[in-house]
Amino acid sequence: MSQRWRLKLEKRDRVSRGLQSFALLIASGVAVMITAALIAATGTNVAAGFGALWSGAFGSWRTLLASLTKSTPLILTGLATVVAFRARVWNIGQEGQLYAGAILSYWAYRAFQGQPPAVLIIIVIAAALLGGAACGLIAGAVKVAFGVDEIITTIMLNYLIGYLLSWLLSNPWRDPNSYYQHSPAVSDAAQLPILVEGSRLHLGFLVAIVAALALYVLVKMTPLGFEIRAFGLNSTASQFQGTDVRSLTLLVMLISGAVAGLAGGSELFGIHHRLKADISLGYGYTGIIIAMVASLNPVAVLPAAILFGGLINGSLKLQTVNQVPAALVYVIQAVVLLSLLTARAITSYRIRRVQSV
Amino acid sequence: MFDNLLQTAIVVNLLAATVRIATPLLFGALGEVITERAGVMNLGLEGSMLMAAFVGFLVAERTGSVLLAVLMASLAAALVNLLLGVLAISLDADQTVTGLAINLLSSGLTLFWFRAAYTQYNTAGTPLIEVMGDLEIPFLSTLPVVGEVLFSHKILTYLAFLLVPLVSFLMYRTHIGLQIRSLGEDPRAADMAGIPVHRLRYLAVLAGGLIVGLGGAFVSVGSVERFFPDMTAGRGWLAFVIVIAGNWKPTRILVVTLVFSLLGAIQLQAQGIGVQVPYQVLLGLPYLVAILAMIIGRARSVAPECLGVPYTRE
Amino acid sequence: MESTSFITVENLTKRFGPVLANDALSLRIRRGEIHCLLGENGAGKTTLAECLYGFHRPDSGEIRCEGRPVSFESPRDAIEKGIGMVHQHFVLIRSFSVLENVALTAQKRGMLLDLSQIGRELKSLCREYHVDLDLKAAVWQLSVGEQQWVEILKALFVGAELLILDEPTAVLTPQETERLFAVLRQMKSEGLSILLITHKLGEVMRVADRISVLRDGRLVDTVAVGEVDKQDLAHMMVGREVVLQVERENGAAGAPLLEVDNLRVVDDRDRVAVRDVSFTLHSGEILGLAGVAGNGQRELFEALIGVRRPMGGQVRFEGEDITNSRPRDIQRRGIAHVPDDRMHQGVVGDLSVADNLILGRQRATRYRRGPLLDRSRIGSAARDLIDTFAIMTPSLNQKVRFLSGGNLQKVILARELGDNPGCLLANQPTRGLDVGVIEYVHTQLLEMRRSGAAVLLISEDLDELFGLSDRIMIMFEGAIMGVVDPKATSVEEVGLMMAGIRDEPR
């Protein structure tokens, strides 16, 4: 009767917080290594490269403020993702909803231009929320009415909103005095007030923080949040216990879209001061990554977004100083997400030595 | 009479363009259908195709060999798929997020790599490659109308259309096809029947990747002399939708692909046909139609039961 | 003894994490015998079977086939050694045809799929056992009994010499069970070995040659059928004296509470599952619903709780029309339910015990302070329920999926009964639970009846129905075949109705 020892991979019952943090650490480590490899591959000195990344991100008070500014839309798109993903509604349309918010808020600006600044700002913020909400609602409605997967609808809408924006900027809203295809600049009254003099940190940042806290309360402490979480974990049991799938899906897409739309309005009236095609540089997709890194916790989105905002600035500096393409930041983001997914998946198993025949 | 000729020429152009445009979509959809029939949902399809397109361009630019470029492109997509495979099959990671992450990785990596490799040029001056040549079928390509529409394409196009009956045969008339299909419907039942679930899923994922890669190769090496970022422009997503609208059956996939391709061809030839619509509408049409196709097709579309669900023996 | 042994198991041990499913089991299965593996739910019967079938690898011990040790890496190896298995939950691919399912299990002969050849061979097998099946039909189109035949044919097709059947009669009417046993006896006389896994004492006495009783993963003993009686076996299964009948006091039913009128419901594949069903549920009564699984009980249940919209007919509660009401409204009126799939329909596994105890009631003012949830009030309410229902859990915050099946059911009961509902709809409430919890659930149901609530008890266990119900409805192919008084009828009569045979009026 022969007996052997063999290694067996078993699923763990639960993953402790310690192990979760470990996974995050591993993921970060892998991201750092791959970043180093890519920097080296361009012929740049790795240490110098990381130095540039750091100094561009948080190296000085000024760059810190710049990173906080950059993080503003990321916080919002991250939050938008958190709300949706908690309910297992796969909203991938943050990019389109962001632009929808920007578009509607610009329209509102044009319609209410004469209003005093405080009123105007409230109007455009509300319009940004509405624009994003409407966009999200379309995807939600298509899912509820026809059963079409929201992943596909939201991605298709991303493309469609992009084309809509392109048409708006080349025809009705085009700045006649400019060579570029963008809208005329908005008046001073419509520019979001700057929070720290000498920087570009604007009101949007405060709005984003408030949104993070509000969504934390919503998700963790209200009956609606309870329903969202229960539905995401087990939609069947939730249905049996009274959750109306249709209205929950619509509500979640509405809230998610609205928050993403807010990002669009915030960027338009806080930074660019006009409607243009590149208000967002993939912030919608970055938001998805941030939400995953934050483990779908609204408050954890804040540090994650600030980190990623810093990374974006850092890579811009890296491009300026060392000619490493700024596109590096997109690679880093994706690598962080993939290595996090891998690390989390690996730590959900444990290895045991077992006897067997 | 001249009008007639002009009209015929337009129709011929339209149909020939349809066949061309269908090529990467077919590769994408057929590759994806094999993967999905085995129960693995590859949302990273766009990313695989993009990586293949870039690698194809890179290899063509460096070596001048179209054949090598196509092979390496195919391999590149298979590797990207392998990444998804490891996470989805062996680690039971969430396939939705993994697929998205792969898209982002591919998009970022190709952009970075492209800029890093060609920083000495600005976009106007990036090196050009020699595009794949047409393979005109002797005699058949000289036939009026049909000759140009069907028989004067690149070899990849012929391959794409040939794959339709091939994949169909594989799926429904071979043992391995039956086994692959069982994985998507009920992996536990397949396991009980002694089928190696994980191993076969990896095979499906890799095979799917090789096919998708051919589509990516066509987008770059097979069509255009230069590479530009996000070159695949949503073709991978359209292929993903085509699989659903085509109810996971190769023949229906072909029909749906041709419909989308015809739309794309119309958009290209818009001015020639005299369509007076802002170009953005035409560009956006495929995406709108995709949503409509899903709405219409949803009612009769039945996905493999266990698509996207990881399997471990309990 | 050894020479006639076909399969020998020696000291087989199998662990799943902390759970010791099989503990040093030893038994022998002879050729040409029907060997029953008897035990309660969770005794380790299925695990042993799955080790024999190569689905699991034992941690220690040995399996011998005709004296020679074997080691199975996968079911493929077991199939090659002549071991076939019919699982409790069928491993058939529902969208494939019968032929395709058999082809999947069959040994691969070449690359091409030849379904017609398989069809010919299958047809002769069918003739041999007098089974009539449409081989081209998709499995989902077949009845549950027919699907079981596919499973059996599949095993025979690949040359099984040992046929393992895991709880095969759970889905059969009494008549279909007899038919199955007749075929098993035919196979036995042809030299096949049969390992029949069951928890039903009656069946064991009828069909077994030898019986191995498992309890808590260990073998209690292997006996020949002539050496024991039902009481002995029950004692061996449970380890203590077992009361085989529940005490039910006499009671008169009260006013009609839930009235169902010509209800028509379709299933997920748009086939009519509930056909013009009418009945009345009175307060203070337990109305049983008997029937083999798959005859519309699930769709009826889902329609009554509001999860599935009926196509026609009416449902009234306390006189008010609730036919198209949503689950939330139905619950608010005081109609509680216990679903048959605990884990997927009854609880959210990754939420805590406390959270599951307020699931569906999270908006109630007693759990809120303003717009926010009041965690302290939720906590104390949860603690009360845990005490009252004796739920064993290390803490309020334990994720509910770690609870045992019995405690899980108690959480569901606590939640539903904690509202003091006027009506309870229970779908297979004791399935898969061990005797102690079953007794507890029965006590709760009877308590509800005593306090004037109305209970609809849907169950596949005729003993349970006979023991608890005031009246029993029988459902077959979506229609009510009859409503009987358990004191005035017999299991056999009910069995006939379950099989679709209505009593001719005398």
Q: Does residue A179 form part of some domain?
A: yes
Q: Does residue C485 form part of some domain?
A: yes
Rounded Cα distance, B161 and A278, in Å: 39
- Contacting chains of B (3 CB pairs or more, <8 Å) are A, C
* Tokens representing residue C47 in the block: 């695990």
Burial of C100 (0-12, 13-18, 19+ CB in 10 A): buried
Helix (H, G, I), strand (E, B), or coil: what is residue B91? coil
Nearest CA in chain A to B91: A345
Nearest CA in chain B to C92: B189
Question: Which pLDDT value is given to residue B150?
Answer: 83
Q: How many contacts, defined by CB atoms under 8 Å, are there between A and B?
A: 125
* Shortest Cα distance, chain B CAs vs residue C105, angstroms: 5
- Same domain membership, residue C497 and residue C453: yes
- Same domain membership, residue C428 and residue C415: no
Give B303's contacts in chain C (Cβ within 8 Å): none
Rounded Cα distance, C425 and C485, in Å: 20
Would you call B104 and A348 a contact, using CB atoms and an 8 Å cutoff? no
How many folded domains does chain C comprise?
A: 3
- Same domain membership, residue C101 and residue C41: yes
- Same domain membership, residue C442 and residue C386: no
Range of the domain at A215: 73-285
Give B94's contacts in chain A (Cβ within 8 Å): 341
Question: Which pLDDT value is given to residue C388?
Answer: 92
* Shortest Cα distance, chain A CAs vs residue C225, angstroms: 32
Question: Which pLDDT value is given to residue C506?
Answer: 37
Helix (H, G, I), strand (E, B), or coil: what is residue C311? coil
Would you call A156 and B283 a contact, using CB atoms and an 8 Å cutoff? no
Would you call A335 and B93 a contact, using CB atoms and an 8 Å cutoff? no
* DSSP-derived pairing of the beta strands C423-427 and C454-459: parallel
- Same domain membership, residue C492 and residue C435: yes
Nearest CA in chain A to C364: A223
- Same domain membership, residue C259 and residue C179: no
Would you call A327 and B112 a contact, using CB atoms and an 8 Å cutoff? yes
Average pLDDT of the residues of chain A = 91
Q: In B29-172, where do the E strands start and end?
A: 135-136, 152-153
Percent of chain A with pLDDT over 70: 94
Question: Which pLDDT value is given to residue C2?
Answer: 43
Q: Select the residue of C56, C95, C113 nearest B178 (Cβ to Cβ).
A: C113
Neighbours of B154 (CB within 10 A): 20
- Same domain membership, residue C128 and residue C230: yes
Question: Which pLDDT value is given to residue A13?
Answer: 64
Single out the residue of C47, C86, C50, C88 nearest to residue C219, CA to CA: C47
Would you call A234 and C348 a contact, using CB atoms and an 8 Å cutoff? yes
Helix (H, G, I), strand (E, B), or coil: what is residue A263? helix
Cβ of residue C350 closer than 8 Å to a chain A Cβ: yes
Candidates B192, B249, B307, partner chain C, best to mutate (most C CBs within 10 A): B192
Domain end (from C420, C452, C471):
C420
Distances (CA, A) of B118 to A46, B229, C16: 20, 13, 56
Domain CATH for C136 = 3.40.50.300
* Shortest Cα distance, chain A CAs vs residue C462, angstroms: 27
Cβ of residue A38 closer than 8 Å to a chain B Cβ: yes
- Same domain membership, residue C390 and residue C428: no
Tell me the residues of chain A between 192 and 251 that have a Cβ less than 8 Å away from chain B: none
Q: Does residue C339 form part of some domain?
A: no
Cβ-contact C286, C249 below 8 angstroms: no
Helix (H, G, I), strand (E, B), or coil: what is residue A90? coil
Cβ-contact B81, B208 below 8 angstroms: yes
Q: Select the residue of C60, C62, C327 nearest A355 (Cβ to Cβ).
A: C60
Distance spanning both ends of chain B, measured CA to CA: 74
What type of residue is B262? L
Give C116's contacts in chain B (Cβ within 8 Å): none
Q: Select the residue of B92, B102, B283 nearest A163 (Cβ to Cβ).
A: B283
Which has more confidence, A106 or C477?
A: A106
Cβ-contact A109, A274 below 8 angstroms: no
Interface residues from chain B to C (CB-CB < 8 Å):
172-179, 181-182, 185-186, 188-196, 302, 305, 313
How many folded domains does chain A comprise?
A: 1
Nearest CA in chain A to B120: A323
Q: Does residue A24 form part of some domain?
A: no
* Shortest Cα distance, chain C CAs vs residue A155, angstroms: 29
Candidates C326, C359, C397, C409, partner chain A, best to mutate (most A CBs within 10 A): C359
Distances (CA, A) of A85 to A221, A259, B87: 17, 14, 19
- Same domain membership, residue C415 and residue C426: no
Cβ of residue A37 closer than 8 Å to a chain B Cβ: no
Q: Does residue A38 form part of some domain?
A: no
Q: Does residue A291 form part of some domain?
A: no
* Shortest Cα distance, chain A CAs vs residue B98, angstroms: 7
- Same domain membership, residue C362 and residue C328: no
Rounded Cα distance, C211 and C214, in Å: 10
- Residue ranges, chain B, pLDDT below 70: 1-5, 120-125, 271-275, 299, 314
Which has more confidence, C490 or A283?
A: A283
- Same domain membership, residue C85 and residue C16: yes
Single out the residue of B258, B191, B293, B253 nearest to residue B21, CA to CA: B258
pLDDT in tens, A224-238: 999 999 999 999 999
Would you call B295 and A146 a contact, using CB atoms and an 8 Å cutoff? yes
Q: Select the residue of A240, A244, A357 nearest C60 (Cβ to Cβ).
A: A357
- Same domain membership, residue C131 and residue C72: yes
Neighbours of C401 (CB within 10 A): 16
Does the ipTM surpass 0.90?
Answer: no
Question: Which pLDDT value is given to residue B274?
Answer: 66
Interface residues from chain A to C (CB-CB < 8 Å):
1, 3, 10, 13-14, 217, 221-223, 226-227, 229-230, 233-234, 236-244, 354-357
Q: What is the pLDDT along chain C (506 residues), one digit of tens a residue?
A: 444 678 888 889 998 877 788 888 999 999 999 999 988 777 788 899 999 998 888 888 999 998 889 998 888 889 888 999 998 888 899 999 999 999 998 866 678 888 888 899 899 989 888 888 888 999 988 888 889 999 999 998 888 899 999 989 877 877 788 889 999 999 999 899 999 998 777 788 889 999 999 988 889 899 999 898 877 887 787 765 555 555 666 666 789 999 999 999 998 888 899 999 999 999 999 999 998 777 899 999 999 999 999 999 999 999 999 999 999 999 999 999 999 999 999 999 999 999 999 999 999 999 999 999 999 999 999 999 999 999 999 889 989 988 888 899 999 999 999 989 999 999 999 988 877 888 899 999 999 999 999 999 999 888 899 999 999 999 988 999 899 998 888 877 887 787 777 665 43
* Tokens representing residue A67 in the block: 């990173």
Highest averaged pLDDT of the listed ranges A46-50, A84-88, C458-462 = A84-88
Cβ of residue C4 closer than 8 Å to a chain A Cβ: no
Give A357's contacts in chain C (Cβ within 8 Å): 57-58, 60-62, 71
Beta-bridged to residue A274, according to DSSP, are: none
The CATH class of B11-119+153-298 is mainly alpha
**By mean pLDDT, which of A317-326, A329-338, B26-35 is the weakest?**
A317-326
Give B190's contacts in chain C (Cβ within 8 Å): 93, 104
Which has more confidence, A290 or C172?
A: A290
Give C93's contacts in chain B (Cβ within 8 Å): 182, 185-186, 189-190
Q: Select the residue of C328, C362, C402 nearest A226 (Cβ to Cβ).
A: C362
* pLDDT at residue A1 tops 50: no
* Shortest Cα distance, chain A CAs vs residue C195, angstroms: 23
Give A214's contacts in chain C (Cβ within 8 Å): none
Give A248's contacts in chain C (Cβ within 8 Å): none
Query: Residue C182 belongs to what H/E stretch?
Result: helix C174-189
- Contacting chains of A (3 CB pairs or more, <8 Å) are B, C
Rounded Cα distance, C374 and B94, in Å: 33
Q: Select the residue of C62, C71, C348 nearest A233 (Cβ to Cβ).
A: C348
Single out the residue of A79, A70, A90, A37 nearest to residue A255, CA to CA: A79
* Shortest Cα distance, chain B CAs vs residue C484, angstroms: 40
Beta-bridged to residue C280, according to DSSP, are: C259
* Shortest Cα distance, chain C CAs vs residue A235, angstroms: 9
pLDDT in tens, A148-205: 989 999 999 999 999 999 999 988 898 888 888 898 888 888 899 999 888 899 999 9
Query: To the nearest 10°, the Cα dihedral for C103, C104, C110, C112?
Result: 70
Give B281's contacts in chain A (Cβ within 8 Å): 163, 167
Cβ-contact B156, B70 below 8 angstroms: yes
Would you call C349 and A233 a contact, using CB atoms and an 8 Å cutoff? yes
Would you call C79 and B194 a contact, using CB atoms and an 8 Å cutoff? yes
Phi/psi at C302 (nearest 5 deg)? Answer: -65, -30
- Contacting chains of C (3 CB pairs or more, <8 Å) are A, B
Range of the domain at C269: 245-334+421-506
